[in-house]
């Protein structure tokens, strides 16, 4: 449950979310100017970066580690691969990928938010993971990499915050090698009504209070809950990936659909 | 997500055990970037163990495995039991019976097994770090005392039960009675074979004389 991230946006194809105009977008439940959203999201992540990992563990009861493990297992990564961990934040996925791709491989931890990137870099260096990791401050919509560069691209709990998701998906498609795959781990729509109600209560009543107590920032966690609701559901996101050019797209619901892992290939 | 829960638990346990190993982590150097995959019949997913920088990663990835073992927990237990009893390993026999399948570099599996076997943890030392030397010593003595008592009680119960079943209730035959019975059966079997041979000889003689 990475509850946060660095980029953002919103999708024109989002069925849950009527876009008032092409110059505006959503920041949680608010409608804001597109240019404004990026700075607003940036301020959220600058604010929570230091407590990000602690809050993730607290809010998800540690389950986010299993979701990330599931992503790693679904990635099919192998030694020598080049991996882009987009919106990688504090580097949980990067740490595992780094160990799996080995010395011959490379992992790029990219994030639009410098505070998150700094926290991630410090954490990974403290773990002794330095050999095959590079750090890049990058916007998912305009990835600063050549075409056909990566074997695997992951974006975990980051797509939700990207301002133009379609553009980001096209950008990811461009940098993937033929045969490469994209994995999107993101909050989604719970499969059952009961789970949905419990989840809503938790998100809007308990989560902001936890944010207030631990990270001294309830508002950021209020944004988190709202941004999850504004994010496209499973089928919509799958359609967006299809539109961006991905093939054999599929998704797997985790924890009753609270989170979903979408996967698509570039051929 | 059950595979991920298991992977996470196994990874944590293995790395914790390795970090406490009194022989250190040098043995892992030979396995750097090597992967052993174990596919157990009891689980519908594989477990891959990859060594990286003196740590073991446990995943369900199978894309790059240096050695794959397909077996069951039951077979592994049987192998371990044979090793403990110093009996000849019947790996070939198990492969023939399709209870075990090995693919890839067997040396990798052997190196992983060697590390597992050489794992030695000084529990007293580890415990002393938390509760101090004297409590650890006392606790160890108490543990040994209880262990001896349990062992003695176990032997006593077995002996008493055996006595009661064999001699008092006569529900079970004694081992010497069983070996006598076996010898008698072998004798009888030999006599029967001998008799059969004689009958065959007589029959062949009879058929020859009737032809003449």
- In angstroms, the CA A115 to CA A1 distance is 19
Question: How much of chain B exceeds pLDDT 70, in percent?
Answer: 96
**Tokens found for residue A83:** 């991996």
ipTM of the complex: 0.71
**Tokens found for residue B136:** 């650890």
- In angstroms, the CA B74 to CA A176 distance is 44
Asked if A99 and B3 come within 8 Å (Cβ–Cβ), the reply is: no
- Identify which of B79, B87, B2 has the alpha carbon closest to the alpha carbon of residue B43: B2
- At residue B204, does pLDDT exceed 80? yes
- In angstroms, the CA A40 to CA B176 distance is 88
Q: Which residues of B touch A77 (CB under 8 A)?
A: 61, 63
Contact predicate A164/A9, CB 8 Å:
yes
How confident is the model at residue B87, as a pLDDT?
A: 60
Burial class (CB within 10 angstroms; exposed 0-12, middle 13-18, buried 19+) of B21: middle
Q: What is the pLDDT of residues B134-156, one digit of tens each?
A: 988 999 999 999 999 999 999 99
Question: How much of chain A exceeds pLDDT 70, in percent?
Answer: 86
- In angstroms, the CA B109 to CA B103 distance is 10
**Tokens found for residue A33:** 């100017």
Say how many CA atoms lie within 13 Å of A174 toward its Cβ: 14
Phi, psi dihedrals of residue A263, rounded to the nearest 5°? -135, 135
Coil, helix or strand at residue B71: strand
Q: What is the pLDDT of residues B10-36, one digit of tens each?
A: 999 988 888 888 877 777 888 888 899
- In angstroms, the CA B63 to CA B84 distance is 34
- In angstroms, the CA B160 to CA B36 distance is 48
Contacts with A, B 29-48, CB within 8 Å: 33
How confident is the model at residue A240, as a pLDDT?
A: 94
Q: Which residues of A touch B8 (CB under 8 A)?
A: 65-66, 69
Q: What is the pLDDT of residues B96-117, one digit of tens each?
A: 777 788 888 888 888 888 888 8
* pLDDT tens, per residue, chain A with 267 residues: 343 333 433 333 333 344 445 677 777 667 777 777 777 777 677 666 667 777 777 878 888 889 999 999 999 898 999 999 999 888 889 999 998 998 889 999 999 888 888 888 998 998 888 889 999 999 999 999 999 999 999 999 889 888 888 999 999 999 999 999 999 999 888 888 888 888 888 888 887 888 778 777 777 777 777 888 888 889 999 999 999 999 999 999 998 888 999 999 999
Interface mutation vs chain B, best among A1, A61, A65, A72, most B CBs within 10 Å: A72
- In angstroms, the CA B134 to CA B120 distance is 22
- At residue B52, does pLDDT exceed 90? no
A interface with B, Cβ–Cβ < 8 A, is: 65-67, 69-70, 72-73, 75-79, 96, 99-100, 102-103, 128-129, 254-255
Q: Which residue of A has its CA nearest to B51?
A: A99
At B71, is the pLDDT very low, low, confident or very high (cuts 50, 70, 90)? confident
How confident is the model at residue A50, as a pLDDT?
A: 67
How confident is the model at residue A10, as a pLDDT?
A: 37
Q: Which residue of B has its CA nearest to A68?
A: B4
- In angstroms, the CA B2 to CA A264 distance is 23
Q: Where are the beta strands (DSSP E) in A143-246?
A: 150-156, 176-187
The average confidence (pLDDT) of chain B is 86
- Provide CB contacts within 8 A for B164, sequence distance 6+: none
- Identify which of A39, A42, A14, A36 has the alpha carbon closest to the alpha carbon of residue A23: A36
First to last CA, chain B: 85
- In angstroms, the CA A6 to CA A8 distance is 7
- Provide CB contacts within 8 A for B146, sequence distance 6+: none
- Identify which of A234, A220, A240, A82 has the alpha carbon closest to the alpha carbon of residue A149: A82
DSSP A259: E
Q: Which residues of A touch B59 (CB under 8 A)?
A: 69, 72-73, 100
- In angstroms, the CA B140 to CA B12 distance is 26
Q: What is the pLDDT of residues A17-56, one digit of tens each?
A: 444 456 777 776 677 777 777 777 776 776 666 677 777 7
DSSP A116: H
Q: Is B59 an 8 Å CB contact of chain A?
A: yes
């Amino acid at each position: 449950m990475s509850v946060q991230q660095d980029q953002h946006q919103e999708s024109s194809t989002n069925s849950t979310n009527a876009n008032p105009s092409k110059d505006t977008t959503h920041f949680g439940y608010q409608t804001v100017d597109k240019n404004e959203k990026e700075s607003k999201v940036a301020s959220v992540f600058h604010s929570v970066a230091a407590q990000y990992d602690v809050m993730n563990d607290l809010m998800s009861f540690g389950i986010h580690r299993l979701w990330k493990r599931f992503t790693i297992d679904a990635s099919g990564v192998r030694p020598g691969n080049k991996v882009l961990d987009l919106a990688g934040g504090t580097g949980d996925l990067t740490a595992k990928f780094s160990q799996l791709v080995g010395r011959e491989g490379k992992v790029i931890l990219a994030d639009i938010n410098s505070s998150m990137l700094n926290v991630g870099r410090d954490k990974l260096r403290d773990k002794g993971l330095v050999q095959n990791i590079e750090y890049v401050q990058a916007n998912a919509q305009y990835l600063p990499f050549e075409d056909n560069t990566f074997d695997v691209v992951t974006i975990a709990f980051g797509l939700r915050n990207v301002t133009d998701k379609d553009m980001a998906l096209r950008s990811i498609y461009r940098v993937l090698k033929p045969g490469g795959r994209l994995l999107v781990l993101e909050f989604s729509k719970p499969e059952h009504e009961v789970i949905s109600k419990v989840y809503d209560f938790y998100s809007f009543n308990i989560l902001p209070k936890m944010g207030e107590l631990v990270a001294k920032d309830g508002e950021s966690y209020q944004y988190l809950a709202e941004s999850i609701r504004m994010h496209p559901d499973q089928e919509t996101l799958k359609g967006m990936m299809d539109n961006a050019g991905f093939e054999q797209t599929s998704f797997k619901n985790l924890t009753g659909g609270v989170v979903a892992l979408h996967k698509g290939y570039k051929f | 997500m059950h595979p991920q829960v298991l992977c996470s638990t196994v990874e944590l346990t293995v790395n914790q055990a390795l970090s406490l190993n009194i022989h250190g982590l040098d043995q892992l150097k030979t396995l750097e970037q090597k992967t052993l995959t174990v596919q157990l019949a009891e689980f519908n997913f594989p477990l891959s163990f990859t060594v990286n920088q003196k740590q073991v990663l446990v995943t369900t990835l199978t894309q790059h495995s240096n050695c794959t073992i397909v077996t069951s927990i039951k077979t592994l237990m049987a192998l371990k039991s044979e090793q403990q009893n110093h009996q000849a390993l019947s790996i070939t026999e198990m492969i023939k019976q399709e209870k075990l399948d090995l693919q890839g570099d067997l040396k990798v599996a052997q190196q992983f097994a060697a590390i597992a076997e050489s794992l030695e943890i000084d529990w007293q030392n580890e415990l002393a770090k938390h509760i101090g030397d004297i409590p650890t010593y006392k606790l160890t003595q108490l543990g040994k005392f209880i262990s001896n008592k349990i062992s003695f009680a176990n032997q006593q119960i077995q002996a008493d039960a055996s006595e009661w079943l064999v001699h008092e209730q006569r529900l079970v035959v004694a081992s010497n009675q069983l070996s006598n019975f076996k010898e008698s059966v072998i004798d009888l079997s030999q006599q029967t074979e001998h008799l059969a041979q004689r009958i065959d000889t007589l029959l062949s003689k009879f058929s020859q004389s009737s032809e003449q």
